[in-house]
């Protein structure tokens, strides 16, 4: 029996296992290299390269998982939202995700999406589409795209202001209320 067989390489989905270990390392603040990841997964130093060309492609896969997870979180909300208050919950979900997964969230947005990374572009686009569809359901018309961009920017800005310590990280409910109030100030200023 080889070391790879004993260590679990042939358990069925090394790619998923590598992503899970990399995610744990990322969120714990542990610097990871492909070699450190292989060691943590209990596989040979070459094994991760069967699934990822390099660390950048691994980070891209982690970002895609993050975009997909955030999209799924937003898709789990009542849809279509009935009004501006319901739409503000998309912002709340966005900020909650960022605060629950700070390192992943920073990785997701730490590098631009470009055509060399089709999966990352697709995942970011799918997230944008969910937010756009929610905004368009409440505010149909030619301004929906601009309003969706403004809403995403607002949620994103609030997320990073909290992550970077520029806004007090109050208790979670107080943060949720801050996000709701910010959205309502923009979406329904009356």
**Mean pLDDT for each 10-residue chunk of the chain (190 residues)?**
46 85 90 88 89 89 95 95 96 97 93 70 93 95 93 96 89 96 89
Q: Where does residue 95 rank: exposed (0-12), middle (13-18), buried (19+ CB within 10 A)?
A: buried
Strand, helix or coil for residue 136: helix
pLDDT at 2: 47
Q: At which residue do the structure tokens 């686009």 appear?
A: 125
Cα–Cα distance between 130 and 136 in angstroms, integer? 10
Residue ranges of alpha helices (H) inside the chain are 3-7, 14-27, 34-41, 55-75, 84-100, 102-109, 118-138, 144-163, 172-187
| pLDDT value, residue 31 | 81
| pLDDT for the residue 117 | 63
Q: What is the pLDDT of residue 6?
A: 43
Predicted confidence at residue 10, as pLDDT, reads 53
**Cβ-Cβ contacts under 8 Å for 55 (sequence gap 6 or more):** 32, 33, 34
- Look at residue 189 in the predicted model and tell me its pLDDT: 74
Q: Which of 181, 84, 65, 58 is nearest to 127 (CA)?
A: 65
Q: How confident is the model at residue 127, as a pLDDT? A: 94
Of the candidates 85, 189, 79, 182, the residue with the CA atom closest to the CA atom of residue 132: 79
């Amino acid at each position: 029996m080889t070391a790879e067989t004993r260590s679990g390489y042939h358990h069925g989905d090394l790619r998923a296992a590598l992503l899970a270990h990399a995610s744990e390392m990322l969120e714990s603040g542990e610097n990871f290299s492909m070699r450190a990841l292989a060691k943590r997964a209990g596989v040979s130093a070459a094994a991760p390269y069967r699934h990822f060309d390099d660390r950048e492609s691994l980070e891209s896969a982690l970002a895609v998982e993050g975009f997909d997870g955030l999209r799924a979180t937003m898709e789990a909300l009542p849809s279509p939202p009935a009004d501006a208050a319901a739409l503000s919950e998309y912002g709340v979900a966005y900020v909650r995700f960022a605060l629950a997964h700070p390192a992943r969230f920073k990785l997701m947005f730490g590098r631009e999406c470009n055509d060399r990374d089709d999966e990352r572009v697709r995942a970011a686009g799918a997230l944008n589409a969910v937010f756009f569809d929610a905004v368009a359901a409440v505010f149909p018309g030619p301004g929906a795209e601009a309003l969706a961009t403004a809403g995403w920017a607002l949620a994103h800005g609030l997320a990073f202001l909290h992550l970077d310590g520029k806004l007090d990280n109050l208790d979670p409910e107080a943060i949720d209320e801050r996000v709701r109030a910010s959205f309502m100030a923009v979406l329904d200023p009356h």
